[in-house]
Amino acid sequence: MGKFREQASLFVDRDSSIVNEDVSVEVAPLSARMRPRNLDEYVGQEHLLGKGKALRRFLENGSLPSLILWGPPGTGKTSLARIFASKIKANFVALSAVTAGTSDVREIIKEAKERWNLLRKRTILFLDEIHRFNKAQQDTLLPHVEEGTITLIGATTENPSFQVIAPLLSRCRVFTLKSLQAEDIKTILARSLQDKERGLGNIALQVDEEFLSALSLLCGGDGRSALNILEESVKICRPDDSGVRHLDREILKEVADHNLRHDRSGESHYDVISAFIKSVRGSDPDGAIYWLARLLESGEDPLFVARRLVILASEDVGLADPQGLVVAIAAQQAVSFIGMPEGMYPLAHATLYLSLAPKSNSVGTAYTAACQALKERPGESVPLHLRNAPTKLMKELGYAKEYKYAHDYPEHYVKQQFLPEGLDGCRFYEPGGLGYEKRLAAWLDHLRREH
């Protein structure tokens, strides 16, 4: 019995050190010190935690399934996991998939089993950046999540549909967190300025409303980023003769001039480039130029943008304005030649040109239709009159015999069969009715009717 009490005491101490983790005010950044300790302090995510919402009901019932929290940086995923553990009185163990491995998970599983056997206390394993675990590492979690040995809370900024293996995903509920609103950020900043225990309440500060409004927009819905910028602003701001630090827009500009968030390899990368492409396709020059600026100012490879413009020029503008492809290629060549930052001029030039150009997707539609015909009738032979005839034997077999040379006829056109026998009469290309393609449609109709 003594050994049991000794082991139980060990687990109680370990639980206390993890769940009630207090960060040193002197060392920890403001964003860590101001981490919410309960749901009353938590800001945002009303769609998950509001009255009657799923997560709120789980907590009120004292139960929590394994789950994945998916959302942008600084939206409160880690804080929410800690609050969950405290609310249901579970042991909280945090790992980062960046530094942890399978051996760490196995050790936590072993302790979780012992803790349950000794104390009947559940263990929450919080795995930050779960998308960094490979398939084999995620597989090690499966049986223990299935058996309930641990309650897994995975946090990720990446779409779990692509980054979390299907068997693990099927055992977890996925909850999507949203970027914080400007008013949410303002609330967080105001609390940190007033809090004398964990925040900046003991520092003599004069904070302009304009500073708070600009910062709440600048951080892009990232609460952690907002607090980090606030703390950095306080550090670089010199007090006046009376010892007061004055935080204004100039201080903010100095600290956060390049605080745009754009992950070139993550989901935000694909979201922003998708918005750029759809704005050009949708003929919105304002949206297109905004997303272009967002891409370039965030450090995106300008040649990546140029490649997308070349594709757009054929895919979405096409023959409605054949000059679009010329402009896009010229932009690609120009940015390769002059580099950045001046490369933004040809890229903006091409972006606006393609946004304002008439649109047609007939190029891609025609190619897709031809591919479908090829798939349905893959063995069609080349008609004899279209074949090459470099030898006497081929000529004797009739190769190229009845071919009609278009330039020998009026308007340099003569009606003849160019498709294989089984596809004769098929129409793959249907011209659009805008821009230059309207002229092409009239010309094609003329040829088909007059000859």
Between CA 114 and CA 120 the distance in angstroms is 9
The pLDDT tens digits for 16-27 are 333 334 444 457
pLDDT under 50 in the chain at which residues?
Answer: 1-25, 260, 265
Query: Cα torsion at 43, 195, 225, 348 (round to 10°)?
Result: 90
pLDDT score, position 264: 52
Evaluate the omega torsion of the peptide bond into residue 341 and state whether it is cis, within 30 degrees of 0: yes
3-state secondary structure of 405: coil
- The CA-CA-CA angle for residues 410, 414, 417, to 5°, reads 175
Contacts with 12 (C-beta within 8 Å, 6 or more apart), sequence order: 119
Q: Which stretches of 100-247 are DSSP H helices?
A: 102-119, 135-139, 142-147, 160-163, 166-170, 182-194, 209-218, 223-236
Between CA 185 and CA 191 the distance in angstroms is 10
Between CA 67 and CA 174 the distance in angstroms is 6
Token look-up 């004398």 returns 196
pLDDT score, position 266: 52
What the chain holds in terms of domains, given with CATH numbers, is 2-176 (3.40.50.300), 182-256 (1.10.8.60), 267-356 (1.20.272.10), 381-450 (1.10.3710.10)
The pLDDT tens digits for 380-397 are 787 877 777 778 777 777
Q: Are 67 and 173 in contact (CB under 8 A)?
A: yes
pLDDT score, position 15: 43
Phi, psi of 79 (to 5 degrees): -60, -40
pLDDT score, position 56: 84
pLDDT score, position 4: 38
Between CA 199 and CA 227 the distance in angstroms is 10
Between CA 319 and CA 5 the distance in angstroms is 81
pTM to 2 decimals? 0.61
Long-range interactions of 237-244: CB distance < 8 A, separation 24+: 239/204, 242/204, 243/204, 244/204, 244/205, 244/206
Phi, psi of 217 (to 5 degrees): -90, -35
For the chain, give the longest Cα–Cα distance. Answer: 108
